[in-house]
Structure 1
């Protein structure tokens, strides 16, 4: 099937991110979708999304590959990196080349780890609405030069749409609050990571491929990602999920 023109791809991404008023809305799966759209539409090699817990700490909840997820996890643990600067300032990080002394001085632990992962620059967009910041979107490049201004604007627009979707979904629910929703998302992230590790062991593959398989199975069987992850952990998932021939 021929790929859609770029304008239609962009429109489809916004429609996808705006469609949050559904009964089985899954924050974790939704933020993975945001990250995947960014890699598909922007001139970046990887993307990661972090959410803020009510305590103010950031938690990495979605990344497009395992290397980026590890980098984001370390950044959260160190309290250092573009995600933290973006979250604290409520402002974009417009594009930092990671092979400069300035980047090394700014993020002494994050920068060498990012360079080791093959990343050359990073830009970050806040997930914010009317001064309320609920997280950040990190956009990484593995090619020379920072992300250009037009792609950064599109990345921020996608982040804004996702933020509106999350807050809108919360607003129409009479049984939850934003705090409860974010806490649930953070708990779900742990379950997904556990399921990914278990599935990787069962399929004798790496966690990144196991996660791709988990997401594809969830989509094709119309099951929420977090529900499927819990089934894996609880031992109630369908045996077909563990069939190596279905990868």
Structure 2
């Protein structure tokens, strides 16, 4: 997507984000949408948003798809990978050729797994606002084309928007509130991961399809993903109310 079409789509996305920033908005759903929009606007194959927990370790908060191997690849970066370096230095790492040993010398296990998953290039963009770094945006490509300066600038703009959705500007100077927001977002993601597994097993379908059905129901009924997840895990919600997806074919299921 290039030129005016991309500019128009980008404007729509920023309006979408602005409209979502109301009191008690669903941060997980919004970040999920942002990761999907990154794939759409930047012509990359996958995107993920990682947040640093209270110990400074990166954890997956949203991904452009919920495939198990992709989530494992993001999760690997809690201890090694370009996102770790990006988070610690605050500098973007872009157009990293995963086939070049010299480019991936600091994180061979991550690079090997990324290549096995089918990716050839990766990028790590900091989630920052002024001097604060709270996480990273990770992008993957299956093709070797480089992202140009304009694409990198756009990726950083989307990462900045993601940061604002997490922190909300009015609380940035209150560190205890900021930490609470980050921990709440990470806790919500854990609950959603648990529900994905429960629903996938109950419906005998893929985790991707289970999450899509869960998310679709929550949005249709104006429920926060984390609130619905809590009710399901507590046995306080009848999951038969959620339209079950068609059973996944064996070859479509996550490994």
| TM-score, structure 1 as length reference | 0.89
Q: Which runs of 4+ in 1 moved over 6 A?
A: none
Equivalent runs, 1:126-145 vs 2, <5 Å: 126-145=126-145
Q: Aligned in 2, Cα 1:228/1:9: closer, same or farther, shift over 3 Å?
A: same
In the alignment, does 2:88 pair up with 1:88?
Answer: yes
Paired residue for 2:242?
241
CA distance in 2, matches of 1:75, 1:55: 14
Q: Deviations 1:16-67 (Å, cap 9, x if unpaired)? A: 2334531222222222122111011111010011111232222111112223
Equivalent runs, 1:187-198 vs 2, <5 Å: 187-198=187-198
Paired residue for 2:151?
151
Paired residue for 1:75?
77
RMSD over aligned Cα, in angstroms?
2.4
Aligned partner of residue 231 in structure 2, secondary structure? helix
Aligned residues: 241
CA distance in 1, matches of 2:243, 2:169: 33
Gaps of 5+ in 1: none
Partners of 1:47 and 1:68 within 8 A in 2 = no
Partners of 1:44 and 1:141 within 8 A in 2 = yes
Paired residue for 1:212?
212
Q: Aligned in 2, Cα 1:61/1:165: closer, same or farther, shift over 3 Å?
A: closer
Equivalent runs, 1:1-247 vs 2, <5 Å: 5-65=5-65, 66=67, 67-76=69-78, 79-168=79-168, 171=171, 177-238=177-238, 239-241=240-242, 243-244=244-245
Larger mean Cα displacement after TM superposition, 231-240 or 111-120:
231-240
Aligned partner of residue 123 in structure 1, secondary structure? strand
